Every structure is written in structure tokens, then in C-alpha cells.
């Protein structure tokens, strides 16, 4: 299948948008049961710009020191209805989440795997995603 730029894309990609050396991939909905070979995050395989498939969400670390309950609830709703996220979970080469903390936490709470986009951005970890406190805040 050819993308908007005319370049070939894999069948699970619906659109690739390029800009300043970064790309975002919008994936079609896939039942979580397709993730059969869940693996813990492996820094040796984390090459910036690549997508690691079937990563155990519980093995990812958070760069945030707290999460918000209503955002977590929204991500659980997406998982419950097999609705895909509009963007990928992004991590650095150490498995620290850069974007998608609430989606990763929801997947970890359900013992699911994720596909993650690896970026080259060093940032400290606040701990494993399942150890980060969840706080109640009003929805804006």
C-alpha cells in the first residue's frame, strides 16, 4: 500500500507524517490478542527512530512523578473498546516514557503489550510505570 508521499508503508500503518526528523505513525485498530510474544523492554534493541513491537507495558519507566485518574480512565476506555490511540507511546533508549504515560499505565494494569517508538532523548526515570501514584484532579 502506498502512503500519501507515494512511499510504501506496511499494512498496519495508515499514515506517516514526516517533519524535522521525527515521524508519527497512526495505526489501525488491532485486537490486543495479536500481541502474543510480549517481551520486556530491551535497551539493546532500542534504536532511535525504530518501533519496538510487543513490549511489556509494565517494563516501561515513567518520566512523570504522578498520573491523573481521569486521563487513565480515558485510556482504559480506549483499550476496552479496542479503539486505537492517535499517537504512539514514545520512549527513550532506556525505556523511559516520553509521551503516552497514561496509555502505557492502562496497558500495564491490563498486562498488555505495546508497540513503542524509540526516540533519542535522555530523561531521568521516576520509576516503573506501575509504581507511579495516580491522583484525582478535576477534568478541565
What integer is the mean pLDDT of 3-27?
37
Look up residue 109 and give its three cell numbers: 494494569
Look up residue 26 and give its three cell numbers: 497512526
Greater confidence, 112 or 25? 112
What is the tens place of the pLDDT at every residue in 85-111? Answer: 889 999 999 999 999 999 999 999 999
The torsion angles phi and psi of 110, rounded to 5 degrees, stand at -100, 10
What is the pTM (predicted TM-score) of this model?
A: 0.75
- Residue 119: pLDDT band with limits 50, 70, 90: very high
Look up residue 125 and give its three cell numbers: 526515570
pLDDT for residue 36: 57
The torsion angles phi and psi of 23, rounded to 5 degrees, stand at -135, 150
pLDDT for residue 14: 34
Q: What Rg do the C-alpha atoms of the chain give, in angstroms?
A: 15
pLDDT for residue 37: 84
What is the tens place of the pLDDT at every residue in 23-53? Answer: 333 343 343 444 458 999 999 999 999 999 9
pLDDT for residue 5: 39
Quickly tell me which residue has 526528523 as its cell.
21
Cα–Cα distance, 69 to 41 (Å, whole number): 25
| Per-residue buried b or exposed e for 77-99, using 16+ beta carbons within 10 Å of the residue's own CB | ebbeeeeeeeebbbbbbebbbbb
What is the tens place of the pLDDT at every residue in 52-78? Answer: 999 999 999 999 999 999 999 999 999
Domains of the chain (ranges plus CATH)? 32-135 (3.90.1530)
Amino acid at each position: 500500500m502506498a502512503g500519501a508521499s507515494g512511499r510504501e508503508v506496511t499494512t498496519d500503518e495508515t499514515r506517516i507524517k514526516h517533519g524535522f526528523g521525527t515521524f508519527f505513525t497512526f495505526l489501525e485498530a488491532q485486537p490486543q490478542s495479536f500481541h502474543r510474544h510480549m517481551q520486556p523492554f530491551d535497551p539493546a534493541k532500542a534504536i532511535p527512530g525504530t518501533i519496538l513491537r510487543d513490549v511489556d507495558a509494565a517494563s516501561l519507566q515513567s518520566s512523570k512523578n504522578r498520573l491523573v485518574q481521569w486521563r487513565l480512565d480515558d485510556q482504559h476506555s480506549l483499550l476496552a473498546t479496542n479503539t486505537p490511540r492517535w499517537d504512539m507511546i514514545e520512549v527513550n533508549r532506556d525505556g523511559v516514557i516520553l509521551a503516552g504515560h497514561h496509555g502505557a499505565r492502562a496497558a500495564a494494569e491490563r498486562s498488555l503489550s505495546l508497540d513503542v517508538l524509540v526516540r533519542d532523548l535522555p530523561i531521568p526515570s521516576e520509576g516503573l510505570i506501575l509504581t507511579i501514584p495516580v491522583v484525582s484532579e478535576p477534568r478541565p
